[in-house]
Amino acid sequence: MAKLFGTDGARGVANTELTCDIAFKLGQAAVALFGKTVVVGKDTRLSGDMLEAALGAGVMSLGGTVLACGIIPTPGVALLARELHADCGIVISASHNPPEYNGIKFFDAQGFKLSDEREAELEAFVAQGGAAASDLPSGDAVGVIVPVEDACELYIRHAINTVADEDLPFDELKIALDTGHGASSLTTARALEELGAEVLVINDDFSGTDINVECGSTHLEPLKQLVAATGARVGIAHDGDADRVMLVDAAGNEIDGDVVEAVCALDLKRRGLLAGNTVVSTVMCNLGFTKCMEEAGISIVQTNVGDKYVLAQLREGGYSIGGEQSGHMIFLEHNSTGDGLITALQFLAAVLRQGVSVAEAASVMKHFPQELINVRVTDKHSVTQNPAVASIIAAKNEEMAGSGRILVRPSGTEPLVRVMVEAPTHEDAHAVAQAIADVVEREMGLGE
């Protein structure tokens, strides 16, 4: 069996790569490896019902109880795994991926994503064919489904409570919101409105086949148009399962995860709440973020790409904030995983505390020009052993002579090699990235 788990759970095209058989066996694995009470949520994908039914059947086939939350953001499942005293939580979602994809990702009883070792145990369980027939209960020992009717309400209330004590003037905010036809369609607008903000929403309906399609945090043009048309002070966009957020200011300038982390880290430092005077980021963070933190006297710890690696470093070091350029942000005091709604609220609270515009708050960090090219390949993992790719990277590093940065890595969720270059100018970054991408395409591409 091919490796099942990537950087964020098991993921693939639903019903061909990520099958009901796999979902059923992962449901069994949840009970066998964690315990009999399993919180389950999903995003709005059409295949969510199918995979939820298969996974739930697996849980119940070993006598487990499914606490069914329905459509809910991924961080809501992490929260409810703790709050409902479950043995684990499972989200059926492919996050920012296209609608035909789906995924299954796990949280432990404390709402934390699993280590690579624990995921390997799940893979081994599936590879061996699931539970043995002799282990299957019968009669009144089989499991059941218990709906959690107020799941989204519990999550919304928790998010609001992270900023409600300060009585900040959220009523001064006109907010444009793009929920990407995803799970945040049920949560983010309600939370912001309860805090007093005026919220103008697009893409909060869903058909199951429109999630992330030309909208949400990976396609900001509709949000920018909404901000321009309505005179909103800020725009907020989520991906399909709302574990990430991207923002734009009143002029439509993008505010990525690096900027959000910089603003929030500086706010925490000013209030004496930045644990260890340290932030956690990944190797993909912009050089501008590094410079901003250094100038503020804040230490940086970098990890591999993937918010579970950020989380591991947060827990190991006892730090309070970590994130990714893509908009995954973890505020460990408030939730145990990337949380798009809580991140948006913490960013807005930091802006309101300063009494400045969103653009002025975001100006604390200056981006180095960055170019990212994705190359579709036959075997993404072989990029690290390819001599031609290594040679072009070495040559371009020598040419840049320390004035920029090159990062070439396999995607954790798709059959892609990601080529990222930072340089003094956009032209330089593009030229270097394209030269490397051309070699990757020639050596490893699909040949179409």
CA angle 244, 250, 252 (to 5 degrees): 65
Cα 88 to its chain centre, rounded Å, is 19
Number of C-beta neighbours around residue 412 at 10 A: 19
Cα 102 to its chain centre, rounded Å, is 14
Of 343, 412, 314, 332, nearest to 105 by C-alpha is 412
**Dist CA 116 CA 373 (whole Å):** 27
Partnered with residue 38 across adjacent β-strands are: 66, 88
Helix (H, G, I), strand (E, B) or coil at 210: coil
Instruction: Let me know: does 323 contact 261? Beta carbons within 8 Å.
Output: yes
Marked catalytic residue, from 61, 93, 95, 281? 95
Residue 16 CB burial class (10 angstroms; 0-12, 13-18, ≥19):
exposed
Q: What is the dihedral of CA 129, 135, 140, 146, to 10 degrees?
A: -40
**Dist CA 179 CA 159 (whole Å):** 17
Backbone angles phi, psi at 374, to 5 degrees: -100, 130
Instruction: Let me know: does 236 contact 224? Beta carbons within 8 Å.
Output: no
Of 180, 113, 364, 343, nearest to 262 by C-alpha is 364
Q: Which residues contact 63 (CB under 8 A, 6 or more apart)?
A: 31, 36, 137, 141, 142, 143
363 assigned to active site: no
Please report, as a single letter, which amino acid is at residue 97: N
Helix (H) or strand (E) holding 81: helix 74-83
Half-sphere exposure of 385 (CA within 13 A, CB side): 4
Residues carrying an active site annotation: 95
